[in-house]
Amino acid sequence: SNKPRSPGRHFLQIPGPTPIPDPVLRAIDQPVIDHRGPAFQKLSKRVLEKVKAPFKTKNPVIIFPSSGTGGWEAALVNTLSPGDKVLMFETGQFASLWNTMAKSLGLKPEFIESDWRIGADPAQIKERLKADKNHEIKAVCVVHNETASGTTSPLQEIRQVLDELKHPALYFVDAVSSLASIDLRHDEWGIDVTIAGSQKGLMLPAGLGFNAISQKALEASKKSGFAKSYWSWADMLANNANGFFPYTPATNLLYGLDVALDLLEQEGYDRVFARHRRHGEATRRAVVAWGLEVLCKDPKYYSPVVTSVLLPPGHDADAFRAIALENFDISLGTGLGRVAGKVFRIGHLADTNDLTILGALSGVEMSLELAGIPHKKGGVQAAINYLAEQAKNPSHKL
Ligand code: PLP
């Protein structure tokens, strides 16, 4: 093309896929090996064990060569039967897509509708479960971090609701954009299937889909009435026991995962989570200083991973994003579904530091000016003030 080269690094500030750290890229860039041979067996056994860490589980984690959507389907078809009722909460576009999938598979989802401006509300979930006297609801499905709206759901509180009501439903959590960015404890919080993908907090390209499963989910899988083949846990677990896969695995992504897990371990998960919280707060302070509105309207549900920003009526968020890309080589997230054109999203997750965030916020502030969007100056300064103050606190360095 005639476009001149863009110097420096592209600012990939979408909420996943996220930039890949150099050591992970180098790990992926290795010769392909025989996936039925001893070198692969060694790699795969190590990775299948190590991958339990971000899920905080001692149970098996299944790795599909798939995107996160495959993880959704695998969770449903392995544990449930056609016609089963499931309870879902409309946190945003991804919860809506999961709901659509459940319907196309022949499940009967009960969808708690919402305006995309809060996370999954435990009180509303409680109300529905309480009314379900005959325990017809077989699973409760929650999106931990709704990437479209920038809301995070209180997983532990929802577990408590199930416990309090002694409701036997399985508990499924979509952690596609929260795993390794927001604390999640598969075992301790009684999650039955945690679904994740490789391209967000795990700092890898897309191409791995995960199901962490509980003993209860494993039991349910023995009675599940869905036809399944590619997604079958049974075949996977039988093969994984020897370090192999029932079909060709994404070998080079597993090389990458091996190193990405080391990087997370080296930083320490608590520090990783604190870093995400800090960057979420810095971003929201910038948005407030600009006089713009954060889509998430209740601080209880603020996301440490992504902030969706509402533009004033009459301003097209996608035109704004195009200006940012053209002038500053920064990709901001587009508004999805019902908020298309109305919001843009700032991803602040994965391999990110204070200066990356400040660079991204500078790109946004300058683009607001270029796009003629009414705003106040000082968003970047507000973020600087907050991050500088935080840097004085030695605890975040641990
Ligand atoms: N769930 C959430 C919360 C997501 O953010 C995404 C993708 O962004 C998905 C599910 C779907 O995953 P994938 O696009 O990898 O199939």
Centre of ligand 1 from the C-alpha of residue 139, in Å: 20
Short-list 236, 243, 253, 247, CA closest to 41: 243
Closest atom of ligand 1 to CA, residue 145: 3
Q: What is the pLDDT of residue 222?
A: 98
Closest atom of ligand 1 to CA, residue 72: 10
Q: What is the pLDDT of residue 396?
A: 66
Most ligand 1 atoms within 8 A of CB, residue of 14, 91, 94 to mutate: 94
Q: How many CB atoms lie within 10 A of CB 188?
A: 11
Most ligand 1 atoms within 8 A of CB, residue of 91, 176, 231, 305 to mutate: 176
State the ipTM, two decimals. 0.99
Q: What is the pLDDT of residue 299?
A: 98
Phi, psi (rounded to 5 degrees) for 330: -120, 130
Q: How many CB atoms lie within 10 A of CB 255?
A: 21
Number of residues that make up the chain: 398
Q: Give the span between the Cα atoms of 303 and 99, in whole angstroms.
A: 22
Centre of ligand 1 from the C-alpha of residue 390, in Å: 31
Closest atom of ligand 1 to CA, residue 146: 3
Q: How far apart are the first and last CA of the chain?
A: 47
Residues in the ligand 1 pocket, defined by CB under 6 Å: 16, 67-69, 94, 143, 147, 174, 176-177, 197, 206
Most ligand 1 atoms within 8 A of CB, residue of 64, 177, 198 to mutate: 177
Q: Give the span between the Cα atoms of 142 and 265, in whole angstroms.
A: 27
Q: What is the pLDDT of residue 1?
A: 63
Q: Which residues are annotated as a binding site?
A: 345
Check: CATH 3.40.640.10 for 22-265? Answer: yes
Contact 205, 198 (CB under 8 A): yes
Q: Give the span between the Cα atoms of 221 and 79, in whole angstroms.
A: 4
Domain boundary assignment for the chain: 22-265, 268-396
Centre of ligand 1 from the C-alpha of residue 37, in Å: 32
Look up residue 70 and give its two tokens.
Answer: 């495959």
Q: Give the span between the Cα atoms of 89 and 143, in whole angstroms.
A: 8
Centre of ligand 1 from the C-alpha of residue 347, in Å: 14
Which residue, by CA, sits nearest to atom 12 of ligand 1?
Answer: 68
Q: What is the pLDDT of residue 140?
A: 99
Centre of ligand 1 from the C-alpha of residue 210, in Å: 12
Centre of ligand 1 from the C-alpha of residue 205, in Å: 13
CA dist list (Å): 151 to 264, 303, 313, 342? 23, 5, 22, 17
* pTM (global) more than 0.95: yes
Q: What is the pLDDT of residue 2?
A: 75
Centre of ligand 1 from the C-alpha of residue 69, in Å: 6
Q: Is 173 helix (H, G, I), strand (E, B) or coil?
A: strand
Q: Give the span between the Cα atoms of 342 and 59, in whole angstroms.
A: 42
Q: Which amino acid is at 322?
A: A
Burial state string for 300-327 with b = 16 or more CB within 10 A and e = fewer than 16: ebbbbbbbbbbbeeebbbeebbebbbee
Closest atom of ligand 1 to CA, residue 175: 3
Q: Longest C-alpha distance within the chain, in Å? A: 66
Contact 13, 333 (CB under 8 A): yes
Q: Give the span between the Cα atoms of 70 and 88, in whole angstroms.
A: 18
At the topology level of CATH, where does 268-396 sit? Aspartate Aminotransferase, domain 1 (3.90.1150)
Look up residue 185 and give its two tokens.
Answer: 């404890």
Q: Which residues are annotated as a binding site for substrate?
A: 345
Can you state the percent helix, strand and coil of the chain, rounding each to 5? 45, 15, 40
Q: Give the span between the Cα atoms of 12 and 306, in whole angstroms.
A: 13
Q: What is the pLDDT of residue 271?
A: 96
User: 146 CB contacts (<8 Å, ≥6 apart)?
Assistant: 91, 92, 93, 94, 95, 116, 119, 152, 153, 303
Instruction: State the sign of the Cα–Cα–Cα–Cα dihedral 12, 15, 21, 24.
Output: negative
Q: What is the DSSP string of 259-305?
A: HHHHHHHHH-HHHHHHHHHHHHHHHHHHHHHHT-EES---GGGB-SS
Q: What is the pLDDT of residue 393?
A: 83
The pLDDT profile of the chain, 398 residues, written as one tens digit per residue, is: 677 888 999 999 999 999 999 999 999 999 999 999 999 999 999 999 999 999 999 999 999 999 999 999 999 999 999 999 999 999 999 999 999 999 999 999 999 999 999 999 999 999 999 999 999 999 999 999 999 999 999 999 999 999 999 999 999 999 999 999 999 999 999 999 999 999 999 999 999 999 999 999 999 999 999 999 999 999 999 999 999 999 999 999 999 999 999 999 999 999 999 999 999 999 999 999 999 999 999 999 999 999 999 999 999 999 999 999 999 999 999 999 999 999 999 999 999 999 999 999 999 999 999 999 999 999 999 999 999 999 998 776 64
Q: Is 56 exposed, middle or buried (0-12, 13-18, 19+ CB in 10 A)?
A: middle
Which residue, by CA, sits nearest to atom 9 of ligand 1?
Answer: 68
